[in-house]
Structure 1
Amino acid sequence: MASTDTRGGADDGGASPPPSSAAASSNGSPNGSPNDLEGLEAGLDALETHTASRVPFGRLLLDKVLPPVVAVVIVLALWQLAYILEIKPHYQLPGPLDVWNALADEWYKGTILGVVWNSVSRGALGFAASLAIGTPLGLIVARVKPVRAAIGPILSGLQSLPSVAWVPAAIIWFGLSDATIYTVVLLGAVPSIANGLVAGVDRIPPLYLRAGQVIGATGLRGVRHVLLPAAMPGYISGLKQGWAFSWRALMAAELIAKSPELGVGLGQLLETGRVYQDMPLVLGAITLILVVGIGIELLVFAPVERRVLRSRGLIAGAR
């Protein structure tokens, strides 16, 4: 009888779990119900999900359009103020209206569109050739260690070398021809594109490469389906820098290499203004060079970069 009481007491004491244990069980412990675990997983999924909502048109104008417009207005106001105060003589520092009139004169002559097109077409063709050369070169340098040890420092040195330094050599090699201009563009853009791709490949988690090997993505298939997609953010950065370097190299080549056979580009227009001491034309050509460079960046590279980063969850979804 006593033993029965003892056993019953022991059963009573050990049968009921402590309150804290019961609470832990009901709050999603390993002993919790499946519904609790499903709720926890759903909450974690919700935290990882970016909800894309459409921003009102007014807010879009306020956030995206108004800041650059205000910046341009401020620059023009300061420029006009410097003109009024005559910080420099008017023939050295013309006002914004004088520059506008100089560009309007070129427009009425029917030459301005041809000048811009000559430079843009040269820049686009030179950049396309740089892309075709720099991409495989970057892949080889990134994946083949002996090649990287031999060529990597040379690419970095070429990237830091001003493109204008190649113009005299290119003129001696090819004379006053399109080959001279494209040579300077290639030497300016290829190192940047290759180094950007190398940097992108270096940032790929090794797990991605091993997973690609497991599923049979090796050789060119691995490059297409694993290596290039994973390295895309760094590659896009290299493309942006490559375009900037190719545009600068093109302007340097056009500024120095002048010939009737080459036609007139923005660089030649800039040099014409210098020769005739036409400062409004000089500033107008500089403005056009700046506008084209910014326009290509905003219309081509910025949307591609946003799409790539968004697809990897590095920025919020489109709004």
Structure 2
Amino acid sequence: MHLSPPIRDEYEIALTPLDDVPLERTLSLPQRIWQQSWVRKTVILLVLALIWEIVARVQDNDLLLPGFVQTAHAFVDGVATGELIGKVWISLKVLVKGYLIGIALAFGLTTLAVSTQLGRDLLSTLTSMFNPLPAIAMLPLALLWFGLGENSLIFVLVHSVLWALALNTYAGFLGVSDTLRMAGRNYGLRGLRFVLFMLVPAALPSILAGLRIGWAFAWRTLIAAELVFGASSGKGGLGWYIFQNRNELYTDKVFAGLAMVILIGLVVENFGFNTIERLTVKRWGMQR
């Protein structure tokens, strides 16, 4: 005998409207403005500037600590006369050369490391040897090998960028899941194409972190190296500008040079790396 399941009568449940539930509170204009990160960061900078000015006025010694207003005047004068901008241009040209060479070498090392066992051993050995070594400690050798000039600066910059970027990139490559690796191989990706089209996009958060660290190391290494010997052919960069004005006791110009170092760091971080991060890893859902 064939049994059929019982047929249940259709029914409908009427839902009561949620009139008594309060809607989400609308933010006021000041609250919406405060939600912007650049507004909060600007407020922090203004508070720090105010504290600086108060401490300088209490201390009342321009030779030791010029105030924020006095430093701002020196900064504007340096920009208006072109002296400060010229020093920045000299430093940035050297920095970009060393940074790009370091990126190229780091990419070559990590590509070799993910491709062969010998490459992995080579990267592990070199990073263990040279990563703990401060870049500025290589300065005497750079002077001996390349002389007093731009090539010595580029040498120490490459050293400061290479190992941090290589370690972060290799760690990112190792973190790529086996599923993505198999998918790439199923699409016929091998060798350099596998690294470029599969590993690099998947490991981009780690690579960006390495680029950030390498940039910070390179920027502060360059300023430190220029403070020591940064004049080349009668021309010196931003570090040399700070060193010269310290010798001549123009403390406000020293602080103006330091402010330019900080300003360039903020611009590169907020308009460079943050923009790249927003357009890539955050848009792809790889980071919150």
Normalising by structure 1, we get a TM-score of: 0.77
1:81 alignment partner, one of 54, 66, 72: 54
**Percentage of pairs with the same residue:** 25
Within-5 A mapping of 1:1-319: 15-17=4-6, 59=32, 62-86=35-59, 89-261=61-233, 263-315=235-287
> Cα deviation per residue 1:272-294 (whole Å; 9 max; x = unaligned)?
12212222121111110111112
Following the alignment from structure 1 to structure 2, what is the Cα–Cα distance between the partners of residues 84 and 112? Answer: 26
* One-letter amino acid of the structure 2 residue matched with residue 273 of structure 1: N
Q: Deviations over 1:228-262 (max 9, x none)?
A: 22222211111111111111121122111133516
Once the two structures are overlaid, the 10-residue window that deviates more, 268-277 or 156-165, is 156-165
Kindly provide the amino acid, as one letter, of the partner of residue 146 in structure 1. L
Q: How many Å apart are 1:170 and its aligned residue? A: 0.8
Tell me how far 1:315 sits from its aligned partner. 4.7
Range with bigger deviation, 260-269 or 281-290: 260-269
Q: Tell whether the 8 Å contact from 1:142 to 1:148 is kept in structure 2 after alignment.
A: yes
Q: Which residue identity does 2:93 align to in structure 1? A: S
Q: How much has 1:123 moved relative to structure 2?
A: 1.2
Residues of 2 paired with 1:129 and 1:278: CA distance?
36
Q: Given that residues 172 and 207 in structure 2 are in contact (C-alpha distance below 8 angstroms), is that contact kept between their aligned partners in structure 1?
A: yes
Give the whole-Å Cα distance in 2 for the aligned partners of 1:194 and 1:167: 21
The structure-2 alpha-carbon separation of the partners of 1:244 and 1:106, relative to structure 1 and needing over 3 Å to count, comes to same
Matches of 2:107 and 2:64, distance apart in 1: 44
Deviation per CA, 1:157-196: give whole Å up to 9, x if none: 5333322111122112111111001001101111122112
Specify which structure has the higher proportion of helix: 1
The residue type equivalent to 1:198 in the other structure is: Y
**Paired residue type of 1:221:** R
1:204 Cα deviation from its structure 2 partner: 0.2
- What is residue 48 of structure 1 aligned with on the other side? none
| 5+ long unaligned stretches in structure 1 | 1-6, 27-55
Structure 2 CA distance for partners of 1:315 and 1:108, relative to 1, 3 Å: closer
How large is the Cα RMSD of the aligned pairs?
2.7
Contact 1:167 1:256 in 2 (8 A): no
Distance 1:258 1:65, change over 3 A: closer
- Residues of 2 paired with 1:150 and 1:219: CA distance? 18
- 2:22 match: none
For the residues of structure 2 that align with 1:134 and 1:306, how far apart are their CA atoms?
A: 24
Q: Do the aligned residues in 2 keep the contact of 1:138 with 1:193 (CA within 8 Å)?
A: no
Deviations, residues 93-114 of structure 1 (Å, cap 9, x unaligned): 1111121222233234331211
Relative distance call for 1:116 and 1:84 in structure 2 (3 A) is same
What is the CA distance between 1:71 and its match in structure 2? Answer: 0.5
Contact 2:230/2:237 (8 A) holds in 1: no
Output one character per residue of 1:70-101: Cα deviation in whole Å (capped at 9) or x when no partner. Answer: 00111011111111221x73321111112122
Pair 1:314–1:147, CA change in 2 (3 A): closer
Secondary structure of the 1:94 match is coil
Deviation at 1:16, TM superposition (A): 4.1
Aligned structure 1 segments of 4 or more residues deviating by more than 3 angstroms: 14-19, 58-62
Q: Distance in 2 between matches of 1:124 and 1:299?
A: 17
- 2:249 is paired with a residue of what secondary structure? coil
Q: Is the 8 A contact 1:177 1:262 kept in 2?
A: no
